[in-house]
Amino acid sequence: MGAGTPPHEQGDTAEIDGIFQGHAYLVLDVRNLDGNRIIKVRNPHGNNSR
């Protein structure tokens, strides 16, 4: 499963949470934890850290 963010007019820009605009992400895990929806994603173009 995958997910993505819409492009940004200034190119690749990171938000405070580390999600880049205009990128595709792999969805690794989805959980409901204490009423919060948690999605674990990985940037396939990033380094090997998770």
Which position has the token pair 């938000």? Answer: 15
Give the pLDDT score at 25.
86
Given a contact cutoff of 8 angstroms between Cβ atoms, the answer to whether 14 and 36 are in contact is no
Give the pLDDT score at 30.
94
Give the pLDDT score at 13.
63
Residues 1-50: pLDDT tens digits? Answer: 788 887 877 766 666 677 778 888 889 999 999 999 999 988 777 765 54
Give the pLDDT score at 31.
96
